[in-house]
Structure 1
Amino acid sequence: MFHAASSPAHPPQKQQNEHKQRDAFFDNAKFLAIVLVAVGHAWEPLKGDSRILEGLYTVVYAFHMPAFIIISGYFSRSFDMRPDRLRRLITGVAVPYIVFETAYSLFKRVIDDDPDMAISLLDPWYLTWFLIALFVWRMTTPVWKAIRRPLPVALGIAMLASVTPEIGNDLDLQRVLQFLPFFVLGLNMRAEHFQWVRRRAVRILSVPVAAVALAVGWWSVPRMNTGWFYHRDSAQELGAPWWTGPVMVLALFGCSLVLTACFFAWVPRRSLWFTALGAGTLYGYLLHGFFVKAADYRGWYDHDWLYGPLGEIFVTVLAAAGVTLLCSAPVRRFFRCVMEPEMKWAFKPDPAELARGREKRGEDAPAREKVSA
């Protein structure tokens, strides 16, 4: 889902080369998915009064995080325990988790007047669960690359998690384990798989599929617990028989894959005005929650007109515009120090990098001598 943008310290030519190497399709997919995440969060306080909105909410929640996680897995295929990659994992995932878990906890204390809100790095609150999940998934990537049938194993783990309420809330392990199959699927995907879902036939077929999904979402509102789509509770915690957990894991995995394929089918392939914003989805993801929660805690939703069609459209447009701004270059430059810190002071020198540097200097020496001669 997130891979770091080039640093401002990089020379312009290097930035240009890195930009050319980016695939516009993935940046477009990440941006559109983060818009859906922000819109879904903005709908939460409104959806209880509108069956249509809650049906839309259900459909969006069936695929927006799976789409993110599949992309995250796809871009984690090269991850190993090499020191430079571990450093990027720490600075790009672990450090933002610590910073924003602390910031969100303090924010809730102040804005919601909740002095009992504890700061706990073991109990992710609100949005931060994804960062700890991504950290765990990436650390286990070598395991999934080594075993013979990784996806069935990941599905089996997710199914077992769904019937194990004893897992508790530490590190939001229910979500880590129940969303795991999507990450493992992404690890095992190749470029041609994304090409396949972008074919014209798939785009055409996705239209009736999406229509059916919307109809089923509307039908399911009074009949189904939305909590199944969050993947954060076991079947018993949702008040269902234990055996429904594995069934729902498999059913929702299949539904999510179909809807994610429909989503990917309609993601533009060419560079558009929002393509560059795809490099800033981590910023939009982590920052938009402050505005959504402030609106909820401060009673900004306590206006009757918001609960009609025009109000719902207004909230949707405002959320989409807001997260777009939060993905923009000025915001990324301002928050880069906590989102993508270099932290060279915290790490030992990498012997391999030092050797490569010495080798490069050795190659450049004859050329310098020739020029000086």
Structure 2
Amino acid sequence: MRMPTPTRLRTNQNTPQNTRKPLDSRDPFFDNAKFLLIVLVALGHSWEQIVSGTHTLQAVHTVVYAFHMPAFILLCGYFSQRFTGRPDQVRKLIEGVLIPYLLFEAAYSATYSAVRGEPYTFTPTEPTYLCWFLVALFLWRLSTPLWRAVRHPVPIAVVVSLAAGLTTMGYDLALPRVLMFLPWFVLGMNLRPEHFALLRTKAARRCGVVALVCAVVAAYLWMPAPDEHWLSMDVGYTELDISWPQYLAVRVGIFALSAVLVAAFFACVPRRRTPFTALGAATMYPYLLHGLLIRAGEAAGLYPVLKDLGAVGQVLLTLGVVTTVFLLSTPPVRKLFRPLVEPRLPRGAVPVDERSK
């Protein structure tokens, strides 16, 4: 997503004091991480179309889902640390999250209607497909001042997350996901550059690679995969058909496992500029657009053909998705879709307190 980096967080902590980068420079580590995560998001959504019955791909898919959204949400919290609710900040939040949500919620509802023959309904309180993340980001960021005001925010957020799974709330405003993923956002708010610096070493990278490989091997051996709702965080314990003590035990275990995998992922992220670093500043575009292409592939009957090709089809789909994410992040695509992804409110629509600038 397009998340402005707090100025005070941009300094590379591994750089000597007298050679630190200017405060207005971007840290390529975070742009690299954001781009890699959006690639994993797109791959996860695409693999869902062919994953059933594919043992190896299902294992990889499970591991990716165990950490890619927690890591993305953690970065959202990290880059929300300066949000205080000033009018100019709220304006940017409306322009960059709320309005795109409404536009793409309408687009995805229309797409589902066209592809699957479902009646067209536009219900903004019930997010369609990947639009849930925009609702969640809007609510998480609005709650930032609250978490800054309480003591021990991360443990409190964990309690809220676990308690949410013990309820039978509906999916209005994607509240199950908003609350269950909340600890990652709050954790990100409380991280500092020195915490990431611990993961930006050769030793951490070696450990990260080992952890990710071991996770894939374990997922491969642990087949069939667990219910996908455990990692999607969209239902409570009653719908998982287990007792509440079992639910709490598994959720705590998932938190621990995801934390290890999130750390392993960040340890493997390149620290220097790469061919895709610049694209990491505009991940909102591939995030919002790739789902429409997935539904177009569904309408074209693409996925049964790829599935019949076996491993070759999996490789072709993976390469196609990575290429598509690259293309959707490029300046021409961003220029074309900017009115939808980064709309601008007319001046005066949301008053801006000049003193807060």
**CA–CA separation in structure 1 for the residues paired with 2:339 and 2:138:** 19
The match for 2:145 is 142
Q: Which amino acid in 1 is paired with 2:233?
A: H
Task: Tell me: CA distance 1:278–1:77, structure 2 relative to 1, closer, same or farther (3 Å).
Answer: same
The match for 1:363 is none
**2:140 is aligned with 1:126:** no
**CA–CA separation in structure 1 for the residues paired with 2:223 and 2:298:** 22
1:252-271, CA deviations, whole angstroms, 9 ceiling, x for partnerless residues? 11111111111111111111
Of the candidates 180, 183, 186, which is equivalent to residue 181 of structure 1? 183
Offset at 1:296? Answer: 2.1
Q: Which amino acid in 2 is paired with 1:303?
A: V
**2:163 is aligned with 1:160:** yes
Aligned length: 342
- Asked whether the equivalents of residues 56 and 217 of structure 1 are also in contact (C-alpha less than 8 Å), the reply is yes
**2:48 is aligned with 1:44:** yes
Task: Tell me: CA distance 1:27–1:19, structure 2 relative to 1, closer, same or farther (3 Å).
Answer: farther
The match for 1:100 is 104
**2:7 is aligned with 1:3:** no
* SS at 1:197 equivalent: coil
Of the candidates 183, 202, 206, which is equivalent to residue 208 of structure 2? 206
Instruction: List 4+ stretches of structure 1 deviating above 3 A.
Output: 17-20, 304-307
* SS at 1:160 equivalent: helix
1:56-76, CA deviations, whole angstroms, 9 ceiling, x for partnerless residues? 000000011111001000000
Q: Which amino acid in 2 is paired with 1:330?
A: P
- Asked whether the equivalents of residues 62 and 259 of structure 1 are also in contact (C-alpha less than 8 Å), the reply is yes
Indicate the larger mover: 37-46 or 281-290.
Answer: 37-46
Q: Which amino acid in 2 is paired with 1:59?
A: V
Of the candidates 225, 229, 232, which is equivalent to residue 230 of structure 1? 232
Offset at 1:51? Answer: 1.1
Indicate the larger mover: 88-97 or 238-247.
Answer: 238-247
**CA–CA separation in structure 2 for the residues paired with 1:33 and 1:298:** 27
**CA–CA separation in structure 2 for the residues paired with 1:48 and 1:129:** 24
Of the candidates 275, 284, 287, which is equivalent to residue 286 of structure 2? 284
1:270-309, CA deviations, whole angstroms, 9 ceiling, x for partnerless residues? 1111111001100000000001122124321122664411
Offset at 1:337? Answer: 1.2
The match for 1:195 is 197
Of the candidates 81, 85, 93, which is equivalent to residue 85 of structure 2? 81
- Asked whether the equivalents of residues 155 and 181 of structure 1 are also in contact (C-alpha less than 8 Å), the reply is yes
Choose between structure 1 and 2: higher helix proportion.
1
**CA–CA separation in structure 2 for the residues paired with 1:300 and 1:128:** 23
Offset at 1:330? Answer: 1.1
Offset at 1:249? Answer: 2.2
1:86-126, CA deviations, whole angstroms, 9 ceiling, x for partnerless residues? 10011001001111011100111112222x24210000010
**2:220 is aligned with 1:221:** no
Of the candidates 21, 26, 30, which is equivalent to residue 22 of structure 1? 26
Task: Tell me: CA distance 1:305–1:110, structure 2 relative to 1, closer, same or farther (3 Å).
Answer: closer
Q: TM-score, normalised by structure 2?
A: 0.91
The match for 1:239 is 241
Of the candidates 243, 268, 271, which is equivalent to residue 270 of structure 2? 268
- Asked whether the equivalents of residues 283 and 327 of structure 1 are also in contact (C-alpha less than 8 Å), the reply is yes
- Asked whether the equivalents of residues 91 and 350 of structure 2 are also in contact (C-alpha less than 8 Å), the reply is no
User: Which of 1 and 2 has greater Rg?
Assistant: 1
Indicate the larger mover: 155-164 or 207-216.
Answer: 207-216
* SS at 1:198 equivalent: coil
1:175-229, CA deviations, whole angstroms, 9 ceiling, x for partnerless residues? 0000000000000000111111112211111222122201221123316212201
Offset at 1:348? Answer: 4.5
* SS at 1:21 equivalent: coil
Task: Tell me: CA distance 1:348–1:34, structure 2 relative to 1, closer, same or farther (3 Å).
Answer: closer
The match for 2:9 is none
Alignment of 1:292-311 (within 5 A): 292-303=294-305, 306-311=308-313
**CA–CA separation in structure 1 for the residues paired with 2:313 and 2:225:** 26
**CA–CA separation in structure 1 for the residues paired with 2:250 and 2:329:** 34
- Asked whether the equivalents of residues 4 and 92 of structure 1 are also in contact (C-alpha less than 8 Å), the reply is no
1:300-325, CA deviations, whole angstroms, 9 ceiling, x for partnerless residues? 11226644111101101101111111
**CA–CA separation in structure 2 for the residues paired with 1:223 and 1:295:** 25
Task: Tell me: CA distance 1:109–1:134, structure 2 relative to 1, closer, same or farther (3 Å).
Answer: same
Q: Which amino acid in 2 is paired with 1:85?
A: Q
- Asked whether the equivalents of residues 97 and 137 of structure 2 are also in contact (C-alpha less than 8 Å), the reply is yes
**CA–CA separation in structure 2 for the residues paired with 1:289 and 1:218:** 27
The match for 1:58 is 62
- Asked whether the equivalents of residues 59 and 225 of structure 2 are also in contact (C-alpha less than 8 Å), the reply is no
Offset at 1:346? Answer: 5.1
- Structure 2 residues not aligned, in runs of 5+: 6-20
* SS at 2:198 equivalent: helix
**CA–CA separation in structure 1 for the residues paired with 2:3 and 2:160:** 27
Indicate the larger mover: 19-28 or 129-138.
Answer: 19-28
